[in-house]
Structure 1
């Protein structure tokens, strides 16, 4: 997750629900959302942290290990909130945890060949939540891995005394054929700009699209 070229990958955490007839099973009250997932000293997923800063202890089960110890991953997770534990800690039963791209933006000179690749794609949604800007993107793909990153194009001063951070989505199709839509999840960690931006500053994100060319999204920091 720390070096360039991080490609979208997933950790599938599947809970066996047992052999039940479809018409007899009542699906639990689950939440599907972008959320941080933290590991303990052994590299096992230990807790979920919402974008509001709420922490939920993950109930123990198999398939949650094998990650970097004492780290926080960005994810799209499906979980069921459960009754609080005896000590008052909120808990969650994790059904699925897909780790996603959430890398700090870099300047063009730190990209491969110092080139700002902006191959077009379609957009499902872009929104801000907590200290992240979240994206669900729809690139056209076939069999090759696409490379994503975020380009830091600097901070400008506004007439009202505020500042604006300018970002552009880096997308390299890697010579792939445009055969079908492949959904991709990304998050921009705005906490990386703590000390550079203050409350009320702006973040401007540009994305190259098939239909409209470059489109811009503005958010308040």
Structure 2
């Protein structure tokens, strides 16, 4: 099977390559998390790893994690890794190795390493953010923390796959009040809770910024809304 060099997609003036490498390396790194039996030790090691990534991507470190109770942080990291691992399993299921060209970065075949073809790895950023969004919000929001089981289950649905496709193609782009991309789960939940068919109005009432919401995305949300009813 042929290979695609990811460098052809990078803007040389951006840090896109570093961000992709961080996602790829983290996808490999989480395989080790099951080896940890001490959650506080896991938290300490994750903080070190996180410092390494942020230093590589933005040239500095983020100290916020050091201020959080280590046992709680370790629990969040463990659940985050399960979300991410489940997302990777779904990518392997839908985009298996050798069913499309492989993706290479710095001459390393990451499709071979993660057993996901280039089409699936193109979705890695969205899947990474899905887990990251829950983890970041959970550190200060108990309601989001308690939604873990529902978010984990949603990852395995066709609806997540469809919404992820729209996010990837730019057909559905929504940011929350912290300027973070809203996840497929939160979009589906907002559609469910919408008082009527004016989804954009409801999204904005949540403080979200709707950047793109094309006809295909609108039709899917309409079908979802009717199904819920």
TM (normalized to structure 2)? Answer: 0.24
Greater helix share, 1 or 2?
2
Greater strand share, 1 or 2?
1
* Bigger Rg, which one: 1
